Structure 1
């Protein structure tokens, strides 16, 4: 009898241990460069949100938003992505214009949550005659890496301001670091475009002597070219407190919205895991705002109407609404194949075959 009881207890212990030791599912979130804001946002999600959903989340660097759309669509293991609103909209526009590759990529993608605005910077040499964004016409411009949201933003802004694409002869697609080096050394670049939520590590890490080498261009909302720009982008301020080694006063600028995006997954296990992730995000937003990147303080748990062709991922949307309703009842307010000539936009988005 003792042996039977002992065996039963051992078996129960083993079963209990096995239940407790269920391995977390491994997912990836594609972000952007190691020195950008997206990588930190992804790592915050991995540290403060994913564990409660029993997910081991790997924040993976990438070239940026356009690449993220492709990787989310086709790369195994990638279940989440951070994507700029103008990149997402550009894929939708290309699809509506008849680009089958763009439609195939973007139509199954779904939004989990709008996050925050990312500031847009145009950097020139300190001795440059240019002082405003609308003065970059025909400059030797580094638009950002091919496949990046920055490159798409540069192309879109240029077209909106000047009614024409960036001149191919004067555009480069280097990394931010490479482009800044050329800007101040061999001077083969006049303007470097950067998109990153402030405080962006790339600019935070600059030394005080950087003021003698570079400056940021201002955005003038009263300039005639700005009307079209402000239909797609948002006015913003780059705060001197974000970059004390670079700025002495706040700088008027532009911003683009960042979105947390997934795929329209129908597999029940994946759907369930993402629902748990959404609930954990809802419950742990205060922790993110306290311990994570400062941009989390701008995030509101809300599901506003999206543009035409944009859709929320239904399982996570239901979970977030349920969570919000529960928090409200509890009295805890939440913070808010033919040969063709490819266009510049198609090349940036990686749609030129």
Structure 2
């Protein structure tokens, strides 16, 4: 089948190995597995992981299903897990979703469209935060040339966004020393002086940055003015965003930046009724959430949706 070929080729291209845990996505196996669903999140220091565990509590408490939440390298890795059937649901960025679905935008997906990928709902803006020590001397994006920069996990949406933003101001690979790790490790590197800056993509406040700011004086590099316009021209997915003053200890002013959109994705192997029930559980009970509550709602759940909705989600949203 064409879709199976696409999935095998994608796994070969990305190095994501193994196809496991597909019983939950099929929803029709015998035994308890038919109610066990796999949900892939992101690093434990970001927003995806704790938010996913709040979704787990809601779904477990309001359906016959049980979600198993897994920490991952986030967007690009999660697309691979959805393509292989290793995940039934995952959090990804809307730009990565579009690239994967259409086989464009990134070398990983070029000519390798993941046609099985489907949308469930958009959630909240994922803010691009560029963190340095306060005494780093880095005040603008242009100051990052020649710096040691953690651009996020290899293959993550954070890395994709970081490279797009750096390229927008003329900083190409080779013009800086690149490090790759999750947000918590990147924060440790900032604290220890092992790197000059780190890109973090997630809904503010990001736990890893909050913790860093309690022990280290930090600065957040602005993406504003003509620089922000250049970034948005480089990648149409970016939108204007602001990190409010006081979000992080020691950062007393609003910080202008850009963002993408977080979304829940699934794939066409998950049965319609499972997707509809999971969607209903989440969006009928958004009052039970404590994370990103100003943004997540049924009314806004299709804002910025970049790929085709799964029929189960369509049945809920109408």
Distance change >3 Å, CA 129–CA 183, structure 1 → 2: same
Deviation at 1:81, TM superposition (A): 0.4
Q: TM-score, normalised by structure 1?
A: 0.72
Question: Residues of 1 paired with 2:258 and 2:98: CA distance?
Answer: 17
Q: Deviations over 1:216-273 (max 9, x none)?
A: 1112233363452573211111123322x2312221122110010000126xxx3212
Aligned to 1:200: 206
Distance change >3 Å, CA 89–CA 140, structure 1 → 2: farther
Deviation at 1:43, TM superposition (A): 0.7
Q: Is the 8 A contact 1:220 1:226 kept in 2?
A: no
Question: Residues of 2 paired with 1:184 and 1:101: CA distance?
Answer: 35
User: Matches of residues 1-353 of structure 1 in structure 2 within 5 Å?
Assistant: 25-76=35-86, 78-92=87-101, 95-96=103-104, 104=112, 106-162=114-170, 165-167=172-174, 170-185=177-192, 187-206=193-212, 208-211=214-217, 214-223=218-227, 225-229=230-234, 231-243=236-248, 245-265=249-269, 270-288=271-289, 292-293=290-291, 295-301=292-298, 302-304=301-303, 306-307=305-306, 310-321=307-318
Name which one, 1 or 2, has greater alpha-carbon Rg: 1
Larger relative helix fraction? 1
Q: Is the 8 A contact 2:77 2:156 kept in 1?
A: yes
User: Mind listing any 5+ residue stretches in structure 1 that lack a counterpart?
Assistant: 1-21, 322-353
Moved over 6 A (4+): 97-100
Question: Residues of 1 paired with 2:189 and 2:277: CA distance?
Answer: 46
Question: Residues of 2 paired with 1:170 and 1:98: CA distance?
Answer: 21
Deviation at 1:306, TM superposition (A): 4.1
Q: TM-score, normalised by structure 2?
A: 0.79
Alignment root-mean-square deviation, CA: 2.8
Report how many aligned residue pairs link the two structures.
Answer: 285
Distance change >3 Å, CA 138–CA 242, structure 1 → 2: same
